[in-house]
Amino acid sequence: MSTDVATLPRKNPLLQSRLGSFLAVFPLSLWTINHLWDNLAAFSGAAAWQSSVTTYAHPFSMALGFLISLVPLLMHTGWGLVRLFSFKPNNLAYNNYGNLKYILQRVSAVGVLFFLGAHLWKAFLAPRLLGHGPEAFDDIAREMRFHGPTLFVYLVGSLGVAYHLANGLQNFGMAWGIFASERSMRRFEPVVIIVFLVLTAMAWGAIFALYQAGDAFGPGPGHSIEM
């Protein structure tokens, strides 16, 4: 009995780490990639963007999609907050690349948390709860074009998402024992960089398409033409 109890503290952190990293990759990373891909429809105009991003075949499919992304997100966030409050940075003592990535992963997690909270409220919940339906293409395009803070938040927030997801793939490999050595981790580093660059390109491409489209709608009430 005493042996089993003594081993629990060593097993639980590993189980939690594997579960947290698994949720980050499946389904959150797949949902993120799909969401970025859908938003690239902004290059094809308002109708294509609305069809890809805000239109659902049935209300149940919208609720199911929301739950599939929200429940793992909440679980991963809870796991991440526990790790965030328990880690102690030692970058001054060990100023190396691995330590820099480690602290950037924690900092990006905080930024992504606030960004996703604001994005979910502004782009999904508020239009449906306080408005008359899903967010309109002209509204978000106008915001991107004529509201500097919104453009800045989306650029930086999506950059943080891209880094956190790409670096999280390496953490996933470590947690699940896929990388058995320092050498195998270094060999995977180019993949991390490529994933980061591709995700950033997709996100900023969608933002650029919305920014470009916003010019046709004008600044609207309450927006200044000057950025």
pLDDT at 3: 38
Spatial CB neighbours of 82, under 8 Å, sequence gap ≥ 6: 16
Is the pLDDT at 176 greater than 70? The verdict is yes
Q: Note the pLDDT tens digit of each residue in 74-105.
A: 888 887 787 777 766 655 555 678 788 888 98
pLDDT at 225: 43
How sure is the predictor about 189, in pLDDT bands with cuts at 50, 70 and 90?
A: very high
Spatial CB neighbours of 219, under 8 Å, sequence gap ≥ 6: 142, 145, 146, 225
pLDDT at 208: 98
Domain-wise residue ranges, the chain: 2-214
How far apart CA 41 and CA 47 sit, in angstroms, is 9
Fold of 2-214: 3 helical TM bundles of succinate and fumarate reductases (1.20.1300)
Q: Please provide the distance, in angstroms rounded to a whole number, between the alpha carbons at the two ends of the chain.
A: 67
How far apart CA 83 and CA 60 sit, in angstroms, is 34
High-pLDDT (> 70) share of the chain, %? 83
